[in-house]
Amino acid sequence: DIVMTQSPATLSVSPGERATLSCRASQSVSTSLAWYQQRPGQAPTLLIYGASTRATGIPARFSGSGSGTVFTLTISSLQSEDFAVYYCQQYNEWPPLTFGGGTKVEIK
């Protein structure tokens, strides 16, 4: 199975600042990577697929980059609703599809 490792586990950021989240794959997943946001008590929401394509309705402040084994999710200017947990997921080699352990973005 491909192991997805996210860092840091927790990121403390002030509103309006930029947040940079990392995801690393145990082997190359090309650009077959998705990002999700999960707010407390809610199901995850798809943000990004194909490593860099925003899903329908996702604001432009969310951007994804990377290929191979190293990926980044950037939130350019954090809004109050962006404080949540973010997960990456690979779909290059499966089954199984695998998720990272998550990065919690909290208010500094």
Partner 1 sequence: QAQLQQWGAGLLKPSETLSLTCAVYDGAFIDYQWTWIRQSPGRGLEWIGKIDRSGTTIYTPSLRSRVTMSVDTIKKQFSLRLSSVNGADTGRYYCARGNWGGWYFDLWGRGTQVTVSS
Interface contacts to partner 1, rule CB under 8 A: 32, 34, 36, 42-46, 49, 55-56, 87, 89, 91, 94-102
Cα 66 from Cα 9, distance rounded (Å) = 19
What letter would DSSP give residue 50? T
Q: Which is nearer to partner 1, 14 or 56 (CB)?
A: 56
Q: Which is nearer to partner 1, 15 or 59 (CB)?
A: 59
Encoding tokens for residue 87?
């997960």
Q: Which is nearer to partner 1, 78 or 102 (CB)?
A: 102
Contact between residue 13 and residue 108 where contact means Cβ atoms under 8 Å apart:
yes
